[in-house]
Chain A
Amino acid sequence: GESVGLHLPTLSVQEGDNSIINCAYSNSASDYFIWYKQESGKGPQFIIDIRSNMDKRQGQRVTVLLNKTVKHLSLQIAATQPGDSAVYFCAENINYGGSQGNLIFGKGTKLSVKP
């Protein structure tokens, strides 16, 4: 089965609040993690990534935290806006036969922002 999963399938937050989306992974050898945002009817869009030698990385209004001890990844969105409403996927990089890694995706969390 998939090694990447999400704790919460749906998340509803108030506009202006911070959002936290969680992800568990099981492959301790994974060296790269990435978050995607997918709006209805569109392809996944890159948000932020992090390598396994880091535990935190910040972008514009987003922060990814990596806890390798418990194999947990989270995406924090500051001051959540209606435009943040989407499905969010985490993915981990797993190498097949030594080639560039292929991403294994979790099932996704739907974020709904209430005005």
Chain B
Amino acid sequence: DAGITQSPRYKITETGRQVTLMCHQTWSHSYMFWYRQDLGHGLRLIYYSAAADITDKGEVPDGYVVSRSKTENFPLTLESATRSQTSVYFCASSVPGGGYEQYFGPGTRLTVT
């Protein structure tokens, strides 16, 4: 049972470049989420998706784009990376209707130089 995976685990990119972070889950959970984690801010929601082809903004969506063509995948794209987007990114998924617990991936550490 692979659960939820993220790739790459580490990424260094330059300012202005486009970069895509991948998230894949094997549970067929309908909800998926992207967070960024920065010291002093905790986890902040970037985007979430209730189902395939349904996405919505979270607390800090500027500079990010998401898509969800398949239930199991939820990629996050930084269209033109900035240094302020240096962070650790976590993907999560959950099942609606029961508890609201979210299951997190291992994270991607992104550095923008």
Task: Collect the chain A residues with CB atoms within 8 Å of residue B90's CB.
Answer: 43-44
Q: A104–B45 Cα gap in the complex (Å)?
A: 8
Interface of chain A residues 79 through 109 with chain B (CB within 8 A): 89, 91, 93, 96-97, 99-108
Number of B residues whose C-beta is below 8 Å from A? 25
> Inter-chain contact count A-B, CB under 8 Å?
56
- CB of B104 within 8 A of CB of A43, answer yes
Contacts of B94 in A (CB 8 A): 100
Assess whether B101 is in contact with A46, with CB atoms less than 8 Å apart.
yes
CB distance from B34 to the nearest CB of A (A): 11
Q: Which residues between 36 and 82 of chain B lie within 8 Å of chain A, taking CB atoms? A: 40-45, 48, 50, 56, 58
Chain B residue nearest to A46 (CB atoms) is B101
Please, which residues of chain B bring their CB within 8 A of the CB of A32? 99-100
A-B contact pairs, 25 of them (CB 8 A): A36-B104, A41-B107, A42-B107, A43-B90, A43-B92, A43-B104, A43-B105, A43-B106, A44-B104, A45-B104, A46-B101, A46-B103, A91-B43, A93-B100, A96-B56, A97-B56, A99-B56, A100-B50, A102-B33, A102-B48, A104-B45, A107-B40, A107-B41, A107-B42, A108-B42
